[in-house]
Structure 1
């Protein structure tokens, strides 16, 4: 993305979808504020940007976001409140909410709406006062959706927070016996999400919960055909996108309906997959009743960075003193406070510092640069095909993407060269040595001397490249060097104040290869430790697409300890979860290996 170009993307999307400024910003901000954002005269905070893109049916998670330490702490406070509610520790949640409300940022409408939502959840779950909860939820809804109750269908735009509020409201209606009212609201939301949320990365955050609540009510009313269709769609959306929040609940309803319909073979398959998912939840400390809260679990996909860390690390790497970097921008004392996280830089100062350091960074950026949001969606589709080993399809998407990208921009040039190398290497079109030379060249565009240590948090593309460098070194027989590279990458993320869950995709990718290489080096305890860390990260982030790989690596590591019973358990879990998450190649590889190694097929369907 070009510097401060997020407004241009919003403008392009809005006009293409024939949405007026008034409809897009309704309840969020003024028309004038939105106009300034679209013209690049104002940078929205993360909450507002998320809401605007979500109302356009798009995921803000395709962008990398740079936050001040103060903004990040606010982000963490919200997460901590929600975790306490999920754990039924309502008193802690209430106290944290009171502290949260004292912050001056909470005067903003989106912050106040969030406070109302949490107060509504606490009124229900802590005070058992559903009537009060419904009142607070309606108040929250009115903040950004005025007169929403008067409309027979949803003719206005909704962000994730607004959908969550209405879903909790529908859940509360069913608690007080107003099932028809709950079903009516859920059907309206279901139709809205089906038709308006075109970006699956965003849709998967709320659609499954809507489907679960609706399917549960339809099941109780013996509307079996509708229940099956809703469950099948939601389960397919979740598994295609590697998400497990509400998956077990939907599978439970689905299997019960299938049994009612006499479809016992399919019901048995669903039950086996569900049982193995529950086993993993239980082993890693995820108690199921902790997941039944009114708070909507949202899978984590955001990529966050701290501006003070970026400035400090890049300044040190450039060899500049604070006095040299701050000259003509701000005082050295101000820069010192910025680097320590005690002060957030203004937009002008941040841009000036980045320019002086020779770095193309804006508050909202991406690992590729484009004015069309569809390019980011196509890039995600490419990544999904590569992850599923569908390389020919991936190559076709890549060729289409390349034609739409400006190769004079460093990030794009890096992405094109590195992706081409990865695909050509996998497809056997170039040798390992040639692949290594070319991919090192791609890395040098933004990071020249990685062998002397990784001094900063990496971008997604830099991590993808370093991971591939490690793969090539391993294939060339230098496994120790591959392990060291992956350890350095992982350490760079763990050294940041940003929780690794906000770099989930990259950390999980690195952990899978690192655990496999450690097992091959017979560093068994270290391999198992990385596998356990990866599984916990998956569950914490509501993700499941890599669970099969981690469980497989753990089973292979335990083979060295001749722990046959546990090996079989983890191979079985890996098989069923790989099948569930539509990782068919992985499932077949596990099955073939297990049958050859143990001369048995007893653990399959």
Structure 2
């Protein structure tokens, strides 16, 4: 998928320099759309459009979609964007324009195509007169088929979490325009889809079109309806959320669905090879021996040429990296493995050790345990469980974590931060080690920070938000411990701002609490911030954090 320029969600891309430059251009456009920067985004889109090769319909579709989104953000009506969306549809889904009912069942769509399809339907419905109820009902039927498919598909839950709220929101806007009397039962279905969208958002800690869906549900849910209580619970969280958005001067209303086009962190192959080689203390000659010439090695590391498949795979294997252009945190040939691993991390983060043990058992059956990365990921989670349940001491835990790191890095304590490249599994292991090894904490923390490529700070944080926010949140907390409250607060503000723009709740409570803790040390803290943290944790069903913030409120 990544090689076809279709963004790969939760996977890494290792790219040739030309591919990386195109990736950077795309992500810069998405970042500006998310920030509602209409002043320069149209110039960037035009610049990217000139680089599109003949026949590259995926990039062409991206250009058409972003032009339409820039127009809407700039104040144009959805129906004005219909020609652009129709042209975008023809790039890969022209058959759905001519015969949706027969073709949709067999259509294999990626997440971005679902987004383009939904936006096309929205713009077409917006172009209809209010008395065109029959045509509008056909568009609603299409949206219902999309909602049914993505909610029934167990293979890609994040696609469901991202697309379902968008489609549910569009559905409600069409119902609002054409079927307020509810003679066809559309209002009831729109309400049902709205509540289901809220459930998906809660499960995946995202808030796409949260205000829009909440506003609609409040209008169409009667006071005597039992769902009004559920609506009230979501509204309590919304009030907290609205205050935070106002505090950061970000519009809580969603102006764009461009978040769907955010790609996961990409890396230039040559840069990774150079950083990893220096980190492991391998000379250029040792690395290239039997693989390529000195001249080729020089050009690869200085990003002056592309790299052949054979050379890439051999060099990555020698550097103890996964020799795949596109890969996830774990390596597996079954889609179920990635979902189970997500549940492992979720249970670990929430302190649900019964669920953690259960999912670890299942994960072991789904992945190849002779792969070093898989062994590191699985064993790290298992050691967390053993430590939490008291079966191993902190000393034994640290020893086990160091042993896991040694699978790919011989001497983590002697590693130079100036030339560090850690993969995701190594990052998590070093992080866990730094928590308990206070003597070497700053050294390990420097390794983590050095891992993040800072050349495009905003793009790096946006495209790899969860991991980078995880590292920066930890760094901000440590700066607070060192009484560097100003620097600590700036980092927390930076993470919070990006999270709010991406509608991603991960680490929101952590960074609000970090700022509260800093203010507490300086004698100007407000307990209302603890209440915000508590409401966020309740919405996310994070019981461990709920207990923590409740205890802090009761102090």
Q: TM-score range by the shorter chain?
A: 0.7 to 0.9
1:147 matched to 2:98: no
The one-character-per-residue Cα deviations of 1:254-311 (angstroms, maximum 9, x if unpaired) are 233335556665444333311211222232342345x324x43338572433212211
Distance 1:331 1:512, change over 3 A: same
Equivalent in the alignment of 2:541: 582
Runs (5+) with no aligned partner, structure 1: 1-43, 51-59, 598-605
Helix, strand or coil at the partner of 1:471 = helix
Helix, strand or coil at the partner of 1:80 = helix
How many Å apart are 1:320 and its aligned residue? 4.8
The one-character-per-residue Cα deviations of 1:340-382 (angstroms, maximum 9, x if unpaired) are 3332212222123334545442212333332222212211111
Runs (5+) with no aligned partner, structure 2: 130-135
Deviates more, 1:306-315 or 1:140-149: 140-149
Distance 1:317 1:128, change over 3 A: closer
Equivalent in the alignment of 1:278: 242
| Number of matched pairs | 535
Coordinate RMSD, CA, aligned: 2.9
How many Å apart are 1:395 and its aligned residue? 0.8
Helix, strand or coil at the partner of 1:116 = helix
Equivalent in the alignment of 2:550: 591
Helix, strand or coil at the partner of 1:61 = coil
Distance 1:204 1:181, change over 3 A: same
1:368 matched to 2:330: yes
Out of 273, 278, 303, the position equivalent to 1:341 is 303
Out of 115, 122, 134, the position equivalent to 1:171 is 122
Deviates more, 1:216-225 or 1:65-74: 216-225
Distance 1:48 1:322, change over 3 A: same
Judge conservation of contact 1:424–1:430 (CA < 8 Å) in 2: yes
Helix, strand or coil at the partner of 2:368 = coil
CA distance in 2, matches of 1:524, 1:68: 41
Q: What aligned pairs does 1:313-352 form with structure 2 within 5 A after superposition? A: 313-322=275-284, 325-326=287-288, 329-352=291-314
Judge conservation of contact 1:493–1:500 (CA < 8 Å) in 2: no
Helix, strand or coil at the partner of 2:94 = coil
1:202 matched to 2:159: yes
Judge conservation of contact 2:162–2:260 (CA < 8 Å) in 1: yes
How many Å apart are 1:48 and its aligned residue? 5.1
Judge conservation of contact 1:436–1:469 (CA < 8 Å) in 2: yes
Out of 438, 441, 445, the position equivalent to 2:400 is 438
Q: What aligned pairs does 1:31-430 form with structure 2 within 5 A after superposition? A: 45-47=2-4, 50=7, 60-90=8-38, 92-105=40-53, 107-121=55-69, 128=76, 133-149=81-97, 150-152=99-101, 154-155=104-105, 156-177=107-128, 179-196=136-153, 198-219=155-176, 221-222=179-180, 223=182, 224-258=187-221, 261=224, 265-288=229-252, 291-293=254-256, 295-298=257-260, 302-322=264-284, 325-326=287-288, 329-357=291-319, 359-430=321-392
Equivalent in the alignment of 1:462: 426
How many Å apart are 1:121 and its aligned residue? 4.0
Judge conservation of contact 1:548–1:578 (CA < 8 Å) in 2: yes
How many Å apart are 1:89 and its aligned residue? 4.4
Judge conservation of contact 1:70–1:341 (CA < 8 Å) in 2: no
Helix, strand or coil at the partner of 1:65 = strand
Judge conservation of contact 1:382–1:398 (CA < 8 Å) in 2: yes
How many Å apart are 1:159 and its aligned residue? 1.2
The one-character-per-residue Cα deviations of 1:520-577 (angstroms, maximum 9, x if unpaired) are 454433432332233234234431032122212222221112214xx22321221222
Deviates more, 1:132-141 or 1:570-579: 132-141
1:503 matched to 2:453: no
Judge conservation of contact 1:256–1:267 (CA < 8 Å) in 2: no
CA distance in 2, matches of 1:535, 1:207: 24
Equivalent in the alignment of 1:556: 517
CA distance in 1, matches of 2:37, 2:509: 32
Judge conservation of contact 2:6–2:58 (CA < 8 Å) in 1: no
Judge conservation of contact 1:186–1:210 (CA < 8 Å) in 2: yes
Distance 1:259 1:483, change over 3 A: farther
Distance 1:321 1:516, change over 3 A: closer
CA distance in 1, matches of 2:329, 2:73: 42
1:488 matched to 2:447: yes
